[in-house]
Every structure is written in structure tokens, then in C-alpha cells.
Structure 1
Amino acid sequence: MGLLFEEIDMQPSAIGDISLRRRRIPALGERDIYEVKLGDEFLMSSMFVDAEVALSDIGLNAAEGDSLSVVVGGLGLGYTGVAALKHKRVSELLIVEYLEPVIRWHQQENVPLGKELNADPRNRFIHGNFFELAVASPDAGGFDPAAPGRQFDAILLDIDHSPRALLHDSSASFYTPTNLGLMAHQLKPRGIFAMWSNEAEDAEFMASLRAVFTDVACHVITFFNPFQNRESFNTVYVARKQD
């Protein structure tokens, strides 16, 4: 193990081995870069977080009212969650994460934002499958195990790479009008659903959103990619539940 690279942890999971790595690339400066991999696939890098932050900012800027209750689907390296907590109107944040090692990395503060998430009393980690909880009937619970059937002001999702590029085939049915409609039951009237994607606007998914929600939009978030020496982009979908 060289000074420029360290594998902090690797654990088995139901969908493959997941690992947390830290590296430095001298040409890019002295800061540590944290990476999460699932098997051989990169899930996230702390180098590229603009859209993860924008997911919270766009979604919560669209949310109405004060004392917002927010669900984040997918913990990652914590950037969406921390960005949500920077909004003063957020009174409660539930971060739903399927992979227990990812929660543990934050609880043990093996990643830079773990300390900030742990220190904020508004934040709570929920170990569970977002896609199953999203479509659960009120009697079955929903996102908050302490308050079955409750509704939220915003649900922010960052798990799959896109509605087509999935981490696991089991989530494919979520991106349909039927299951988006079931998830919408867990939003308050005029509540916000927002979602990160690694790909350009998906016309079929936009149609599915419009079948359930109103005020549907797709925002392009650009950032510089030093590995490719050019501008790259992610997208953020945002939609509002009808009254």
C-alpha cells in the first residue's frame, strides 16, 4: 500500500463487495480523494460532487413551507445529506441506505462528512432498501420505521446511475408511473421529488414523471473533469406532487 493510495475498508454486501478507498493524485493537488466502488464499478468520487449538492439545493429550494421533513435515498459519501442540512428550513433528515457498511463508514467517521452528519441532531440514518420502502403501503411502514405512514416535504434520490443504468435489476420497476405514484403517497401535497442522474434527460422517464407529478423539469449540472480535460455534466430531475 503506497502513500498515494489506501483501501480503507472492503465488505461483502447483497449486491457485491463494496469498498472505500482514499487516494492522492499529485497533479491535482494535495487533497485526499475518497472513492466508493461496488465490485469493479465506481459508485462515487469526492472529486465530482456538484450534482449531488445541486440535488439538495434544487429540490429543497422548490419545497414549500418551513420545518421541512426530508428523505434522502442513498448515502454515498454524504454530500447530498450535508447539503440538505445546510438549508435552515430543514428540521428533519432521514438518509435511507441499503448497504450497512456505508452507514458504518459515516458513523465511524472514516469519511470526511461523517463527523458533520453525526453531529447534527436533525439527521438520522435508516438502514433499508429505498425502492422497497418507497412503494410500501402505509400499513407496512414507509421510510420512517418510527412513524408508519407519515408523509414528507421532499424525497431526494441518488442511487442508480440513471433510470436505465441500474445498480441492480430489482429497481427497474421503480421508474414507472405505477411505482412513482406509490412513492408519491409518502409526499405531502405539493411535496417535491428530485433525483440525480449520470445521463442526459430521459424522455421516457420524463413522461413517467408527468403522469404522476406536476412542474416536472430536468436541470443540467456542469463541472470540469480533469481526467478528460473537458466539461462533464449530470442531471437533476425535479417534480411536484399535485394538491
Structure 2
Amino acid sequence: MSARFEELAWSQTPRGTISLRRRLEPTLKVDVYEVKLDDEFLMSSLFTVAEIELARLGLAQAPGTELDVVVGGLGLGYTARAALEDPRVRSMVVVDAMAEVIDWHERELLPGAAELVQDPRTRLVLDDFFAVAASDGGFDPDSPGRRFDAVLLDIDHTPRHVLHPSHATFYSVDGLRRLKGHLRPGGVFALWSDDPPDDDFNALLTQVFEHSETQIVTFANFLTGGESTNTVYVAH
């Protein structure tokens, strides 16, 4: 059994102190990996069902047998690893703005990090997802203008509750149209949200994409003794 608590890494960043820690969850008797930015919890390995379903639900609607995929937000790696489970994925660019998060994976401090970073289909790119989404060059710095079959995004808490004010313009008709320009015909955009379905945001998606739907992902929550939900938007 591991120690009850261990801080694996921390660093001072322009946005605050980011830290990776591992703790023993006594109720479940499992190790939980958590990321904090100052006093705010950014991510946890305790509940990962929806992060995995983001990849599965998004790629399920991606056409073709050889898919080039973008994952926005590396986090603890659950969405990226789930995407690699789809045998149609031939390449995956994972964009994260935090050098520390990429470093944790490259140093294999997280469970499953080795299989992710050592997969030849994976490429980790240090950049601001929202800035490159708004740019003409797009997500692949070595191939400006390259288009993709799917973009899977899990960075902000919700389209309304963003981690940084600069992200807000992405969740607009103009921002979504710029993203669409980086997709191949029939390409998919999928987004994780911590809130219930937002009809106003779904209406924005339908102004840009031919089809949009929301999927409610339900999972057991031992903290409440019941169930919790996240939302996955899928547009193509």
C-alpha cells in the first residue's frame, strides 16, 4: 500500500503554483492522482468516466478508417489514452499549455503515461489550444494548415466557466467557425463539460455544424452515495 499522501511535483507558473499529488483514498483503498492550481482542483483520477467517454463518443461519429485526431488538454491522460484504443487512429496531436503537465507524462509520474508517450502515434505539443484553434496555422506546428478528423476538448470546466478569460471567445460562433476550419469534411468536434446540457451553447454549435447533440454521462459517486453526471457535446 502506498503512502497516504505524496506530492510528486510542483512548479510556479504565471497562473499560479501547479502541483501533482498522489493520495490514498481510504474509502476505496486506491491511489488518487490530483492536480491543483493554487487552491483550485483542476483534475482528479477519482472520476474519469466522462473523460474516457469524450474520446469514445466523439470518435464513434468520425468517418473513415484512418483518423488524425487532436486532443485539447493532456490532463491526466485519460482522454488521449482512450482515443488510442480506437484502431482507426493513425496519429494524435495532444495540445497542452502547461509544460509541467507534459513533463509529468514524459517522466512517467502518472499511471498509463508510458503507454501514451511511447505510442508512435502520439505527439505532445506545448501550446495554447485556444490560440492555435483561432490561428490559420492550426494544431500541427510542423504542418501549418493541416486538417484533422476529430478534435476532442477537455480544458475548461464548462463553456461558461473557463479557466482563463482568454478562452471565452472560443465558445462563440466565430470561435467555433475557426475551429471548424481545422476539420476535414465530416470531421467531429467533441467537448467535455462539468455542467448539465446547456441549450444556449448547443444552439451555437448548430449554427456552425450540420449536426450537434448532447450526451449525458452518468457515473457512480461514492462521495454522495448516488450518481453524478457530466455532459459531452458532439458536433460534426
* Normalised-by-shorter TM-score class: over 0.9
Q: Gaps spanning 5+ residues in structure 2: where? A: none
State the match for 1:13 in structure 2: 13
State yes or no: 1:173 paired with 2:172.
Answer: no
State the match for 2:4 in structure 1: 4
**Number of residue equivalences:** 235
State the match for 2:133 in structure 1: 134
Report the TM-score when normalising by structure 1: 0.95
More divergent stretch after superposition (77-86 vs 16-25): 16-25
What is the CA–CA distance in structure 2 between the aligned matches of 1:177 and 1:195, rounded to whole Å?
Answer: 15
Matching residue's letter, 1:3: A
1:226 CA displacement = 1.1
What is the CA–CA distance in structure 1 between the aligned matches of 2:3 and 2:62, rounded to whole Å?
Answer: 44
1:26 CA displacement = 2.1
Equivalent residue for 2:216, pick from 189, 196, 220: 220
Where 1:144 maps in the other structure, the secondary structure is coil
What is the CA–CA distance in structure 2 between the aligned matches of 1:154 and 1:36, rounded to whole Å?
Answer: 26
State the match for 1:109 in structure 2: 108
State the match for 2:35 in structure 1: 36
Aligned positions of 1:71-86 closer than 5 A: 71-86=70-85
CA deviations 1:23-49 (Å, max 9, x no partner) are 0022212x2110111111111111110
Matching residue's letter, 2:184: K
Where 2:117 maps in the other structure, the secondary structure is helix
CA deviations 1:81-138 (Å, max 9, x no partner) are 000000000000000000000000000001112111122100000000000000102x
What is the CA–CA distance in structure 2 between the aligned matches of 1:9 and 1:216, rounded to whole Å?
Answer: 39
1:14 CA displacement = 2.5
State the match for 2:87 in structure 1: 88
Where 2:22 maps in the other structure, the secondary structure is strand
Where 2:13 maps in the other structure, the secondary structure is coil
Identical pairs, percent = 49
What is the CA–CA distance in structure 1 between the aligned matches of 2:139 and 2:228, rounded to whole Å?
Answer: 33
Where 2:52 maps in the other structure, the secondary structure is helix
What is the CA–CA distance in structure 2 between the aligned matches of 1:238 and 1:13, rounded to whole Å?
Answer: 32
Matching residue's letter, 2:178: L
CA deviations 1:49-79 (Å, max 9, x no partner) are 0000000000001000011000000001000
Where 1:24 maps in the other structure, the secondary structure is strand
Q: Gaps spanning 5+ residues in structure 1: where? A: none
State yes or no: 1:211 paired with 2:207.
Answer: yes
Where 1:27 maps in the other structure, the secondary structure is coil
Equivalent residue for 2:230, pick from 216, 230, 234: 234
State the match for 2:124 in structure 1: 125
Matching residue's letter, 1:233: T
More divergent stretch after superposition (200-209 vs 68-77): 200-209
1:15/1:168 contact within 8 Å kept: no
What is the CA–CA distance in structure 1 between the aligned matches of 2:3 and 2:59, rounded to whole Å?
Answer: 40
State the match for 2:187 in structure 1: 191
Report the TM-score when normalising by structure 2: 0.98
CA deviations 1:192-224 (Å, max 9, x no partner) are 000000001111111110110022001000111
1:77/1:113 contact within 8 Å kept: no
